[in-house]
């Protein structure tokens, strides 16, 4: 069984310059097995992503997908279910779906019973031979993490990995803490090597997240000022208007730190703060991301409240409509201590960032939905306009918006038209897809394609995952223990930007949360 590595030429071809519209690497022949195929993730993300790749001509020749779950279902019933889901998305075309549906299959599998994998193996072998495949297979575990190890073991024992390479995609959360993550790794390592395990974080697949590296390292104007000499602080915000959406069973155990910070927020931080690698190559880029995570200053349990504010949404209004509080959500405890919001201040102890604070915040049921990185620069060292203007001109900022619309913005000052000397703030705005006529891929489409080509740059490596859990460990312990040093849980009104105490966290440093470019902020 191959260890899952792609040929060394794959990354070179994919990253070759210049890129033309529609110029994408065609993956080698492979099949995909999706465990947990009756779940919501498959309907909302995975099948739509594969269908889009198929319509764009980006799937390999002979590609097919086999869904597997405990639910009893025929091939046609599964196809009909997926078709109904696709019709709710943009770009559905009956003819292209009919062609793609011929490559969609389904088999019922009891994850804990090895004997039930026989039907799945049969369809993989039969379709593989009929389509001229070479045994390359991807196993996507769209299941609760508790099922990862048993599926991985029984899939291997049942002979699902074939003569070609095999890769295992796992969703977050990968464990609930450092200990459980290591235990899960040990279980998967019985049958798979680290090179075969793809820990997916869909935030890393967003175009603007990837563009952080291009913006920094392909332009001479940004990197020289991307350091402690010129940057006052960095803010990373992921604001959601949605609540837990009937996921109380998961969220009661996870909370916002496990759900958002351990993976999405810290991975984006690592990209924004990393050093340039010598070559734009997967493992070298991942090395630099891990170095940032290693350099994060550990929390001191005795002063954790100075660095972390947590909250939970109460009832309120989103876009003028009433929404219940977290404790009124179906499945949530009426006295639940689970945080749905967190604001965090941390430092990176290295030469580039020493003394520069990073402020991270994420929450549910917030006023507006947006995710962005804001690089706040220091003010001018000497204001020569101080006699002509009231007050000091505000700071410059570079804004990297990831959702809902991907764009790059630069805030600076210019003179207002007219005879008087007046400054005004202006924003230079670049919508990310403007002027591009090629194929635009969303996060899951990008990451699925990368897995097929064997490019792990945008996937989370084991050491980075463990460092993230280790960093958050003291905070998670104190929140769970609720002793005298634990951060207090503040209830905030749905439809706001979190509890007022989160404002205090940053205002005591003489700063404010910055929502530049957020039209609704």
Query: In the listed set 177, 199, 221, which residue is the last one of a domain according to the structure?
Result: 199
Categorize the per-residue pLDDT at 120 as very low, low, confident or very high, splitting at 50, 70 and 90.
very high
Give the domain CATH number at 151.
Answer: 3.40.50.720
Q: How big is the chain by its Cα radius of gyration, in Å?
A: 24
pLDDT in tens, 482-501: 888 889 999 999 999 999 99
- 376 vs 190, 257, 266, 307, CA distance in Å? 46, 24, 18, 19
Residues 107 and 220 in one domain: no
pLDDT at 390: 61
Q: Indicate whether 233 belongs to any domain.
A: yes
**Other Cβ atoms closer than 10 A to 297:** 11
Residue 91 and residue 194 in one domain: yes
Query: What's the pLDDT tens digit per position in 159-217?
Result: 999 889 999 999 987 888 999 999 999 999 999 999 999 999 988 988 888 889 989 99
Mean pLDDT of the chain: 88
Are 192 and 263 in the same domain? no
* Residue 264 is a catalytic residue: yes
Each residue of 3-53: pLDDT tens digit?
A: 554 433 333 333 333 444 444 567 899 999 999 999 999 999 999 999 999
The model's confidence at residue 127, banded by pLDDT at 50, 70 and 90, is: very high
User: Is 420 a member of any domain?
Assistant: no
395 in Cβ contact with 232 (< 8 Å)? yes
Nearest in space to 462 (alpha carbons), one of 293, 225, 302, 244: 293
Same domain? For 184 and 219 the reply is no
Long-range contacts (CB closer than 8 Å, 24 or more residues apart) made by 393-399: 393/423, 394/425, 395/232, 397/514, 397/516, 398/222, 398/374, 399/372, 399/373, 399/374, 399/375, 399/427, 399/516, 399/517
**Does residue 415 form part of some domain?**
no
Residue 393 lies in a domain: no
From 184, 199, 214, give the residue that closes a domain: 199
Residue 518's pLDDT is what? 54
Answer yes or no: do 71 and 180 share one domain: yes
Give pLDDT tens digits for 243-288: 988 888 889 989 999 999 999 999 999 999 999 999 999 999 999 9
CATH of residue 346's domain is 3.30.360.10
* Same-domain status, 299 and 165: no
What is the pLDDT averaged over residues 409-428? 78
Instruction: Specify the DSSP element, H or E, that contains 179.
Output: helix 178-188
Q: Looking at the 3D structure of the chain, how many domains does it have?
A: 2
Distance, in Å, from the CA atom of 473 to the CA atom of 479, rounded to the nearest integer, reads: 10
Q: What is the largest distance, in Å, between two alpha-carbon atoms of the chain?
A: 84
Mark whether 162 and 308 lie in a shared domain.
no
DSSP-derived pairing of the beta strands 397-403 and 370-377: antiparallel
Report the pLDDT averaged over residues 333-341: 95
The verdict on residue 3 lying in a domain is no
My answer on whether 263 and 141 are in the same domain is no
Do 138 and 29 share a structural domain?
A: yes
Among 133, 165, 199, the domain boundary falls at 199
- Which domain does 191 fall in, by range? 9-199
- pLDDT(63) > 80: yes
Domain assignment present for residue 437? The answer is no
Query: What is the reported pTM?
Result: 0.90
- Examine residue 152 and state whether it is found in any structural domain, yes or no: yes
pLDDT of residue 115: 95
Q: Indicate which residue of 202, 264, 307, 347 is catalytic.
A: 264
- Least trusted range by pLDDT, from 62-71, 99-108, 419-428: 419-428
């Amino acid at each position: 069984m191959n260890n899952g590595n792609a040929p060394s030429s794959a990354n070179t071809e994919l990253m070759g310059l210049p890129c033309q519209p529609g110029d994408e690497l065609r993956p080698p022949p492979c099949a995909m097995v999706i465990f947990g195929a009756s779940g919501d993730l498959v309907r909302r993300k995975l099948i739509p992503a594969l269908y889009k790749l198929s319509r764009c001509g980006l799937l390999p020749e002979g590609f097919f997908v086999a869904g597997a779950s405990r639910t009893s279902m025929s091939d046609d019933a599964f196809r009909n279910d997926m078709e109904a889901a696709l019709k709710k998305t943009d770009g559905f075309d009956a003819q292209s779906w009919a062609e793609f549906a011929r490559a969609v299959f389904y088999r019922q599998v009891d994850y804990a019973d090895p004997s039930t994998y026989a039907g799945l193996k049969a369809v993989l072998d039969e379709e593989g031979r009929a389509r001229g495949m070479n045994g390359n297979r991807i196993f996507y575990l769209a299941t609760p993490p508790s099922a990862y190890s048993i599926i991985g073991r029984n899939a291997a024992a049942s002979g699902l990995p074939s003569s070609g390479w095999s890769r295992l995609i796992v969703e977050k959360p990968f464990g609930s803490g450092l200990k459980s993550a290591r235990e899960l790794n040990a279980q998967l390592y019985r049958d798979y090597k680290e090179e075969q395990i793809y820990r997916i974080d869909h935030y890393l697949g967003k175009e603007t997240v990837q563009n952080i590296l291009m913006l920094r390292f392909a332009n001479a104007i940004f990197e020289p000022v991307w350091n402690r000499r010129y940057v006052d602080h960095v803010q990373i915000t992921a604001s959601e208007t949605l609540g837990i959406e009937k996921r109380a069973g998961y969220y009661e155990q996870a909370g916002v730190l496990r759900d958002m910070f351990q993976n999405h927020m810290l991975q984006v931080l690592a990209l924004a703060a990393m050093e340039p690698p010598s070559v734009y190559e997967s493992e070298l880029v991942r090395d630099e991301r891990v170095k940032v995570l290693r350099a994060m200053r550990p929390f001191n349990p005795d002063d954790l409240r100075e660095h972390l504010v947590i909250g939970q949404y109460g009832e309120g209004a989103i876009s003028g409509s009433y929404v219940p509080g977290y404790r009124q959500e179906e499945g949530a405890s009426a006295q639940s201590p689970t945080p749905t919001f967190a604001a965090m201040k941390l430092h990176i102890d290295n030469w580039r960032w020493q003394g520069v604070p990073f402020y991270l915040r994420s929450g549910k049921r917030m006023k507006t939905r947006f995710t962005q990185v804001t690089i706040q620069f220091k003010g001018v060292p000497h204001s020569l306009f101080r006699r002509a203007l009231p007050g000091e001109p505000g700071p410059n900022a570079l804004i990297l918006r990831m959702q809902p619309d991907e764009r790059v913005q630069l805030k600076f000052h210019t003179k207002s038209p007219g005879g008087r000397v007046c400054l005004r703030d202006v924003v230079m705005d670049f919508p990310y897809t403007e002027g591009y006529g090629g194929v635009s891929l969303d996060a899951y489409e990008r990451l699925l394609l990368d897995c097929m080509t064997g490019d792990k740059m945008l996937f989370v490596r084991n050491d980075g995952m463990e460092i993230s859990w280790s960093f958050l460990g003291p905070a998670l312990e104190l929140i769970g223990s609720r002793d005298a040093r634990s951060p207090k849980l503040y209830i905030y009104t749905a439809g706001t930007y979190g509890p007022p105490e989160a404002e205090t966290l940053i205002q005591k440093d003489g700063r404010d949360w910055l929502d530049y470019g957020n039209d609704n902020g």
